[in-house]
């Protein structure tokens, strides 16, 4: 059989056309599979979108990404209403929650309305702009451009929509949300970490959520909300959510596991065991880097921002194991001192009134009795007079000369002896730091907590979590006494009869 040159070339061309068709078919088949996988899984969407979101470096995979993705998927599907994610800074929380997740929500349903806010408009708009870049990218339009088309009359960095009615808007803590409704709200870093210790900034953030943002949901029965942040303080917005919304799901991921933590992925049911001492992503930050971060941040900020525990384990400035306990106070004390910390205002919402009786024996100090209650001015004055009767040979009665304390001092003049007005010049933190050596040395003795539960339930938690505790009145009364005792030295002996009335307890029933 004779085969011509033309026949040979024809067969080769057919083969080339066949191979090209196969390649094209395989290409579209692969892309269709990727599209389906991206629509099904937020994690797959995130991985495929990564070169668009961050073209500077490759994605370094780690387990925490998958569990964040599944929690966010559960929010979209209505399986979680309020989700709180606490994860260290620079571990992709904003990439996941503020960029990929909202875009993925539009892939699921382009009609969704999403409202996001951060502590500054600059930060919030920056994340919104990056999110819009993702949605307008060739990668995104290749898969979903036929269905999701940006509206030409509403396409700003901070606010844009699509032709199906879906919207994405960005605001900031304290910013305007007038006319903004949503199906899903994303709160990404609602407070500036540099202002973590500011009571005003924390209260402003919580008030903005409670008074403004929480009312922006279009469907009041479906309030899908994601709060993602590093912990800053015991009373930050995370603390508020966990206190006010018991059903909120809390995903807390520390830089290094303080103990074994078992995570359950909410949709797949997978289990991740985060072993004690294990580092979150050691190829990114190993023990050397974490130790350096602790030095740079300090123990308080490291515990909050890196470990997601606003109070360092074992305590803050003061550690729980520094305190000593006693069953019976010494027979003879060098002196007894009363210390009163008054409320700022005569209101039910005011802080606690704390009245303490301290006994000194050489270098040791014994907390003999404590009253901690919310009292009016008259009740506070009544309690002060009653304690003078309980400890008739007290040496000094210390009262902070501000707020209601000034009025108490004025009302007790001529009635109670040895009233000492205290006008502290240092900060609350500085006052406790000044007492730290005595406490660490074991010179502070508390009533046995087995018989005085207020010691372990109220006193120690407040002192050890200061300055990030919810209240600080017991700390103030204690430091008022200890700092006075240090400069005063040892005085006269107290009468043994003073101890006849000492039995520990909160003493609230005496009022």
C-alpha–C-alpha distance, residues 379 and 409, integer Å:
14
Residue 500 pLDDT: 38
Q: What CATH number is associated with residue 51?
A: 3.40.50.300
C-alpha–C-alpha distance, residues 354 and 326, integer Å:
21
C-alpha–C-alpha distance, residues 358 and 474, integer Å:
13
Structural domain containing residue 257: 39-306
Closest CA to 440 of 431, 452, 432: 432
User: For 329-370, what is each residue's pLDDT tens digit?
Assistant: 998 899 999 999 998 765 544 679 999 999 999 999 999 999
Do 229 and 135 belong together in one domain? yes
172 C-beta neighbours (distance < 10 Å), count: 20
Do 46 and 194 belong together in one domain? yes
Do 61 and 162 belong together in one domain? yes
Residue 19 lies in a domain: no
Q: How many separate domains does the chain show? A: 2
Do 347 and 284 belong together in one domain? no
Residue 291 C-alpha from the chain's centroid: 22
Residue 20 lies in a domain: no
Do 477 and 414 belong together in one domain? yes
In this structure, are residues 356 and 370 in contact, taking their beta carbons and an 8 Å threshold?
yes
In this structure, are residues 162 and 140 in contact, taking their beta carbons and an 8 Å threshold?
no
Residue 288 pLDDT: 96
Tally of CA atoms within 13 A in the half-sphere of 316 that contains its CB: 23
Q: What CATH number is associated with residue 455?
A: 3.30.420.280
Secondary structure of residue 187 in the 3-state scheme: strand
Residue 32 lies in a domain: no
Q: Please give the backbone phi and psi of residue 367, each rounded to the nearest 5 degrees, phi first.
A: -80, 105
Do 279 and 401 belong together in one domain? no
Secondary structure of residue 440 in the 3-state scheme: helix
159-162, strands of its sheet edge to edge: 150-155, 159-162, 167-172, 113-118, 184-188, 224-229, 82-86, 249-252
Reading the chain (511 residues) residue by residue, the pLDDT tens digits are 454 545 555 555 555 455 656 665 665 566 789 999 999 999 999 999 999 999 888 999 999 999 999 999 999 999 999 999 999 999 999 999 999 999 999 999 999 999 999 999 999 999 999 999 999 999 999 999 999 999 988 889 999 999 999 999 999 999 999 888 999 999 999 999 888 767 788 899 999 999 999 999 999 888 899 999 999 888 899 999 999 999 999 999 999 999 999 999 999 999 999 999 999 999 999 999 999 998 888 777 888 899 999 876 666 789 899 999 999 999 889 999 999 999 876 554 467 999 999 999 999 999 999 999 999 899 999 999 999 999 999 999 999 988 788 999 999 988 899 999 999 888 888 899 889 889 989 999 999 999 999 999 999 999 998 887 888 999 999 999 999 998 876 544 344 344 333 333 343 333 4
Tell me which of 248, 279, 306 is where a domain ends.
306
In this structure, are residues 117 and 189 in contact, taking their beta carbons and an 8 Å threshold?
no
Do 84 and 107 belong together in one domain? yes
């Amino acid at each position: 059989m004779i085969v011509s040159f033309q026949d040979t070339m024809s067969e080769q061309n057919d083969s080339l056309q066949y191979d090209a068709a196969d390649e094209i078919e395989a290409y579209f088949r692969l892309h269709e599979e990727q599209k389906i996988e991206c629509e099904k899984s937020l994690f797959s969407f995130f991985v495929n979108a990564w070169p668009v979101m961050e073209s500077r470096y490759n994605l370094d995979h780690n387990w925490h990404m998958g569990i964040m993705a599944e929690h966010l998927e559960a929010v979209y599907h209505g399986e979680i209403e309020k989700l709180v994610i606490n994860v260290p800074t620079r571990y992709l929380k904003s990439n996941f929650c503020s960029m990929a997740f909202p875009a993925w929500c539009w892939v699921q349903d382009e009609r969704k309305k999403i409202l996001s806010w951060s502590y500054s408009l600059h930060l919030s708009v920056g994340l919104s702009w990056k999110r819009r870049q993702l949605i307008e990218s060739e990668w995104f339009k290749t898969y979903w451009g036929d269905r999701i088309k940006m509206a030409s009359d509403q396409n700003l960095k901070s606010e844009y929509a699509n032709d199906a009615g879906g919207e994405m808007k960005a605001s900031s803590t304290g910013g305007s949300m007038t006319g903004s409704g949503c199906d899903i709200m994303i709160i990404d870093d609602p407070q500036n970490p540099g202002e973590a210790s500011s009571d005003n900034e924390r209260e402003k953030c919580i008030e903005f959520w409670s008074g403004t943002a929480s009312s922006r949901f279009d469907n009041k029965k479906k309030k899908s909300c994601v709060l993602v942040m590093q912990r800053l303080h015991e009373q930050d917005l995370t603390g508020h959510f966990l206190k006010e919304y018991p059903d909120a799901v809390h995903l807390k991921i520390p830089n290094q596991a303080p103990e074994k933590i078992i995570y359950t992925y909410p949709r797949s049911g997978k289990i991740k065991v985060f072993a004690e001492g294990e580092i979150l992503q050691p190829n990114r930050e190993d023990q050397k880097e974490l130790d350096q971060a602790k030095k740079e941040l300090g123990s308080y900020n490291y515990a909050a921002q890196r470990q997601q525990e606003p109070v360092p384990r074992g305590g803050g400035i003061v550690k729980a194991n520094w305190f000593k306990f006693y069953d019976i106070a010494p027979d003879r004390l060098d002196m007894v001192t009363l210390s009163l910390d008054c409320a700022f205002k005569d209101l039910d919402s005011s802080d606690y009134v704390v009245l303490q009786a301290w006994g000194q024996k050489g270098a040791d100090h014994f907390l003999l009795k404590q009253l901690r209650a919310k009292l009016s001015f008259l009740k506070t004055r009544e309690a002060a007079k009653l304690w003078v009767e309980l400890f008739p040979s007290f040496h000094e009665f210390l009262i902070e000369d501000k707020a209601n304390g000034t009025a108490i001092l004025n009302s007790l003049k001529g009635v109670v002896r040895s009233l000492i007005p205290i006008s502290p010049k240092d900060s609350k933190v500085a006052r406790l730091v000044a007492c730290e050596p005595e406490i660490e040395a074991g010179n502070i003795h508390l009533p046995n907590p087995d018989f005085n539960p207020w010691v372990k339930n109220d006193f120690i938690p407040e002192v050890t979590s200061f300055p990030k505790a919810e209240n600080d009145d017991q700390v103030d009364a204690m430091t008022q006494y200890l700092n006075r005792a240090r400069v005063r030295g040892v005085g006269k002996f107290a009468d043994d009869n003073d101890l006849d009335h000492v039995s520990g307890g909160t003493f609230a029933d005496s009022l």
